[in-house]
Chains A and B, each alone.
Chain A
Amino acid sequence: MIDFIARRLVAIIPVLAVVAIFVFLMLRLTPGDPAAVIAGDNATSDQIDLIRAKLGLDLPIWQQFIIWIGDILRGNLGESFFFKKTVVELIAQRLQPTLALSICTLIIAVATAVPLGVLAAYRHGSLLDRVVMGFSVMGFSLPTFVIGYCLIYVFAIDLDWLPVQGYTRIEVDFWGFISHIILPSITLGIIYVALIARITRASVLEVLNEDYIRTARAKGLSNRVVLMRHALRNAAVPILTVIGIGVALLIGGAVVTETVYGLPGLGRLTVEAVLSRDFPTIQAVILMFSVVYVVINLLIDISYTLFDPRIRY
């Protein structure tokens, strides 16, 4: 197992190298000039050239790449072209809202979807099953921003229970934090509830037809024990896989949700950096997301062994 983890961790290095080269080249080869963005609408060409030189963007691409890689290897992710702040500081400032949104979304999604999926499988063909599957289709079909606006209208404007937008840090005011994160988490969670509920239903349904389930029932075990201990555990691998993929997809989903709810998270930082061509920030954020993807995949692979003893690395 330790060998497996070590091998997977070492495999991060070539992944990051490829991502680094790809992102660096993609940013330099696509249109857009950060110096022109910084200089503003009224700037002359001379002013733009001077800013370009100050940022080192007048150097040949290979030279810029060597400087950047050298900095990365020294642990320096660089300084944003716009904010007089290091990229690490910017990411640190934006990490909490995205982390909070992702964790709350996952909790809501798993806590809702797994029981719904199991129940739908158990009551296969019933009204409950059709309702769950209908909800699931709706969850897939509705864009996140539509769900967001609807929830804002109902809970923030009509009922006036929750704020429309913004974020309160958990350490500043816990209830303020809860009130600001709950709607975005539900908004983002709906699609994951739909996804996970469908997979759970399908996996559990498949397992419920297995011989060992019939044996468990024949032993006189209660439905709850049969479902939770025998059926769900054997169906866990595809469910965990979907949850893992879901975590990775959360980063993309967070962009829209953070924009709709005005959450100052990493999703919005990425969009703002792309729109303003803030190369150091884009490069650092994408590298960080790559590490997160690889680590999450590793954790999911490891978690398989907890549910299915037949899996060994």
Chain B
Amino acid sequence: MLQFKRSVAALIAAAGVAGMFGAASADAQTIKAVMHSDVKILDPIWTTAYIQRNFGYMVWDTLFAMDEKFEVKPQMVEKWDVSADKLTWTFTLRDGLVWSTGQPVTAEDCIASIKRWGAKDSMGQKMMASVAGFEAVDAKTFRMKMKEPYGLVLESLGKPSSNVPFMMPKKTAETDPNTQIKVEDVIGSGPFIFKADEWKPGEKVVFVKNTKYKPRSEPPSGLAGGKVAKVDRVEWIAMPDVQTQVAAIENGEIDMIESPGHDLLPLLSKDKNIKLFDSNPLGNQYAFRFNSLFKPFDNPKIRHAAMVAFNQEEFLKATIGNPKYYKVCKAPFVCGTPLGTDAGMKDVLNGDAAKAKQLLKEAGYDGTPVVLMQSTDLQVLTNLAPVAKAQLEAAGFKVNMQAMDWQTLVGRRAKKDPPDKGGWNAFLTSWVAADILNPVMAGFFNASCDKAMFGWPCDATIEKMRDAFAKEIDPAKQKQIAIDLQKYWVDHPTHINVGQWYQPVALRTNIDGMLVAPVPVFWNMTKK
């Protein structure tokens, strides 16, 4: 019996040692990361999901990119100019840009890519509405002709978050925007190459360094500058269980967790081999979305009353807890950004239940219950709805909170049915700050009725101001339009921003060079 025990122990030890040696040899220049989700879809234009956006930044490159200071800088573009009448934009690509297959990146590829992105992305659609056409001047140069001057050309082409205008080969970019591209068409000119043969859905996604990639000479800054891949290989490991993620990073089996739960941060910070890094100082913003189609939120005065009733800190305390990772911030375009201001918001978001009650009375609220959807399976969202319920009820609203998983909520929020017939009145979600930096980019400000995002606000004044913002080419005037729009929006809200929060990344201490950017990117990262 004793011999048997020894044999088993020896077998376990041998297996473990063999496993460890096997892992060690493969780890030399490999970063293993657990991202916030597994990669299921490979087309960052077909979907707006953030994991596909992150995937896109590995494989594809962009014409322009936003740097740390929120300035749009050329990326694939060497030089660009705009005609005096602001109607013709000319872009020339850098020398030496090639697809991972070795074929050169051409102007035709870029035109097709912009068209596909412009058909799908809301900011792209807005820009394309002002575009008269494209013309390839030569292999590296193309022109974009406008019907009218448009103020957000560079901001659109350098849009940092979903959908990002990634440049793809013409053949791929000619795929119907509502059809996913094929696995074999995932060919980019970015700093890494997707290894389709090693992709195992539910297990891992593998990228290797693109040796043909020619980075810019400038130092990296945000999503701009030189994208130098300093490791040979990056693996995104699918690991759904958060406890296992923590055990794996403590054990050195993985090097990074993109979104460790806030309740696990104290545990991670105690480990001397792990550091927490805030790669996205702008963070994220919680939002309470109204369904403007139905009572009571079809009335802007009632929506405004809800804004008066809410208190951001209570939402943030209930979900994030540690003040180090949240910020009370009334600015809808995010504190710390060029358009981040709390102009017009002095009297709202102060948790003033008495005033909200009075406003509700004046607005003629008839007691129609608010069907509030609560998602229960995403930790960063779960506690938002109960706080909203309590604050709304304190102001005199009747609230019917219904719990469901996030995917059920996602399906239900797309329905325009009345709330008592399977529809809804409100729900809470979170935006990455990089998605909401201006009123055209921020999807919840879109108030174009049926064309708007779920909630379908319909407000001609907001739309007129968004158009004016997009077409204004003077940045100072653009900023003034944004402020005016914000002041109007406070009285006619399409949603309510209920606080800003931050998600640090957990890294092993032997990982360096992670960039401060709104998207977790792997160029410039090193592993000792």
Among A14-22, A40-48, A205-213, A219-227, the stretch that binds chain B is: A40-48
User: Are the CB atoms of B162 and A33 closer together than 8 Å?
Assistant: no
User: Are the CB atoms of A163 and B19 closer together than 8 Å?
Assistant: yes
Q: Mark B100-130, 1 if CB is under 8 A from A, else 0.
A: 0000000000000000000010100000000
Kindly report which residue of chain A lies nearest to residue B42, judged by CB atoms.
A84
User: Are the CB atoms of A161 and B248 closer together than 8 Å?
Assistant: no
- Cα–Cα, bound, A63→B200 (Å): 33
User: Are the CB atoms of A45 and B182 closer together than 8 Å?
Assistant: no
Q: How far is the CB of A212 from chain B (nearest CB, A)?
A: 31
- Cα–Cα, bound, A155→B16 (Å): 10
- Kindly identify, within residues 18 to 50 of chain B, every residue whose CB is under 8 Å from any CB belonging to chain A: 18-20, 22-23, 38, 40-42, 46-50
Q: Given A38-B46, A262-B244: A176 and B238 within 8 A (CB)?
A: no
User: Are the CB atoms of A163 and B454 closer together than 8 Å?
Assistant: no
Residues on B with beta carbons closer than 8 Å to the beta carbon of A60: none
Q: How far is the CB of A149 from chain B (nearest CB, A)?
A: 6
Residues on B with beta carbons closer than 8 Å to the beta carbon of A279: none
Q: Give the residue of B178, B201, B203, B411 whose beta carbon is less than 8 angstroms from that of A36.
A: B411
B13 within 8 A of A: yes
Q: Given A33-B410, A277-B411: A41 and B48 within 8 A (CB)?
A: yes
- Kindly identify, within residues 44 to 92 of chain A, every residue whose CB is under 8 Å from any CB belonging to chain B: 44-48, 50-51, 54, 82-85, 90
B132 within 8 A of A: no
User: Are the CB atoms of A182 and B15 closer together than 8 Å?
Assistant: yes
User: Are the CB atoms of B12 and A41 closer together than 8 Å?
Assistant: no
Residues on A with beta carbons closer than 8 Å to the beta carbon of B238: 262, 264
A160 within 8 A of B: yes
User: Are the CB atoms of A36 and B414 closer together than 8 Å?
Assistant: yes
Q: Give the residue of A39, A46, A82, A268 whose beta carbon is less than 8 angstroms from that of B48.
A: A39
B139 within 8 A of A: no
Q: Give the residue of B13, B42, B408, B414 whose beta carbon is less than 8 angstroms from that of A161.
A: B13
Kindly report which residue of chain A lies nearest to residue B249, judged by CB atoms.
A164
- Cα–Cα, bound, A166→B11 (Å): 19
Q: Mark B226-239, 1 if CB is under 8 A from A, else 0.
A: 00000000000111
In the complex, how many residue pairs between chain A and chain B have their CB atoms under 8 Å apart? 183
- Cα–Cα, bound, A44→B178 (Å): 13
A37 within 8 A of B: yes
Residues on B with beta carbons closer than 8 Å to the beta carbon of A173: 18-19, 22
- Cα–Cα, bound, A37→B201 (Å): 17
User: Are the CB atoms of A156 and B247 closer together than 8 Å?
Assistant: yes
- Cα–Cα, bound, A261→B20 (Å): 16
A201 within 8 A of B: no
Residues on A with beta carbons closer than 8 Å to the beta carbon of B241: 259-260, 262
- Cα–Cα, bound, A84→B185 (Å): 11
Q: How far is the CB of A156 from chain B (nearest CB, A)?
A: 6
- Cα–Cα, bound, A277→B409 (Å): 12
Kindly report which residue of chain A lies nearest to residue B240, judged by CB atoms.
A259
- Cα–Cα, bound, A274→B248 (Å): 26
Kindly report which residue of chain B lies nearest to residue A40, judged by CB atoms.
B48
Residues on B with beta carbons closer than 8 Å to the beta carbon of A143: none
- Cα–Cα, bound, A169→B200 (Å): 12
User: Are the CB atoms of B19 and A162 closer together than 8 Å?
Assistant: yes
User: Are the CB atoms of B182 and A94 closer together than 8 Å?
Assistant: no
Residues on A with beta carbons closer than 8 Å to the beta carbon of B200: 93, 264
Among B445-453, B495-503, B516-524, the stretch that binds chain A is: B445-453
A290 within 8 A of B: no
Total number of A residues with any Cβ neighbor in B under 8 Å: 61
User: Are the CB atoms of A162 and B451 closer together than 8 Å?
Assistant: no
Residues on B with beta carbons closer than 8 Å to the beta carbon of A94: 202
Kindly report which residue of chain A lies nearest to residue B405, judged by CB atoms.
A275
- Kindly identify, within residues 265 to 279 of chain A, every residue whose CB is under 8 Å from any CB belonging to chain B: 268-269, 272, 275-277
- Kindly identify, within residues 410 to 469 of chain B, every residue whose CB is under 8 Å from any CB belonging to chain A: 410-414, 416, 422, 429, 435, 443, 446, 450-454, 456
User: Are the CB atoms of A84 and B16 closer together than 8 Å?
Assistant: no
- Cα–Cα, bound, A168→B453 (Å): 44
- Highest count of chain A CB atoms <10 Å: which of B47, B253, B452: B47
Residues on A with beta carbons closer than 8 Å to the beta carbon of B50: 40-41
Residues on A with beta carbons closer than 8 Å to the beta carbon of B163: 42
Kindly report which residue of chain B lies nearest to residue A167, judged by CB atoms.
B203
User: Are the CB atoms of B19 and A175 closer together than 8 Å?
Assistant: yes
User: Are the CB atoms of A180 and B19 closer together than 8 Å?
Assistant: yes
A165 within 8 A of B: yes
Residues on A with beta carbons closer than 8 Å to the beta carbon of B251: 156-157, 160, 163-164
Residues on B with beta carbons closer than 8 Å to the beta carbon of A261: 244
Q: How far is the CB of A56 from chain B (nearest CB, A)?
A: 13
Kindly report which residue of chain A lies nearest to residue B180, judged by CB atoms.
A84
User: Are the CB atoms of B202 and A268 closer together than 8 Å?
Assistant: yes
- Cα–Cα, bound, A164→B257 (Å): 15
Q: Give the residue of A45, A162, A264 whose beta carbon is less than 8 angstroms from that of B16.
A: A162
Q: Given A32-B408, A37-B410, A50-B178: A152 and B19 within 8 A (CB)?
A: no
Kindly report which residue of chain B lies nearest to residue A261, judged by CB atoms.
B244
B393 within 8 A of A: no
A234 within 8 A of B: no
User: Are the CB atoms of B15 and A178 closer together than 8 Å?
Assistant: yes
Q: Given A152-B247, A161-B12, A264-B202: A276 and B452 within 8 A (CB)?
A: no
Residues on A with beta carbons closer than 8 Å to the beta carbon of B180: 84
Kindly report which residue of chain A lies nearest to residue B8, judged by CB atoms.
A182
Q: How far is the CB of B478 from chain A (nearest CB, A)?
A: 22
Residues on A with beta carbons closer than 8 Å to the beta carbon of B15: 162, 175-176, 178-179, 182
User: Are the CB atoms of A51 and B49 closer together than 8 Å?
Assistant: no
Q: Give the residue of B13, B244, B404, B407 whose beta carbon is less than 8 angstroms from that of A260.
A: B244
- Cα–Cα, bound, A276→B42 (Å): 16
B264 within 8 A of A: no
- Cα–Cα, bound, A165→B253 (Å): 8
A125 within 8 A of B: no
Q: How far is the CB of B178 from chain A (nearest CB, A)?
A: 4
- Cα–Cα, bound, A245→B19 (Å): 34
B179 within 8 A of A: yes
Q: Give the residue of A42, A82, A149, A163 whose beta carbon is less than 8 angstroms from that of B40.
A: A82
User: Are the CB atoms of A164 and B182 closer together than 8 Å?
Assistant: no
- Cα–Cα, bound, A31→B429 (Å): 19
Which 6 pairs across A and B sit closest by C-beta, in order of nearness? A33-B411, A40-B48, A175-B18, A179-B19, A264-B203, A42-B48
- Residue pairs across A and B with Cβ atoms less than 8 A apart, 20 shown, are A37-B411, A42-B453, A44-B446, A45-B452, A50-B178, A83-B40, A85-B183, A153-B247, A155-B12, A163-B20, A165-B247, A168-B22, A175-B14, A179-B16, A179-B18, A182-B12, A262-B241, A264-B200, A272-B38, A276-B40
Binding site for B on A (CB under 8 A): 31-48, 50-51, 54, 82-85, 90, 93-94, 149, 152-153, 155-157, 160-168, 173, 175-176, 178-180, 182, 259-262, 264, 268-269, 272, 275-277
Given A31-B408, A39-B48, A180-B19: 13 more A-B contacts, CB < 8 Å? A34-B411, A40-B49, A48-B414, A50-B178, A90-B201, A157-B251, A161-B12, A162-B19, A173-B18, A179-B19, A182-B15, A260-B243, A262-B237
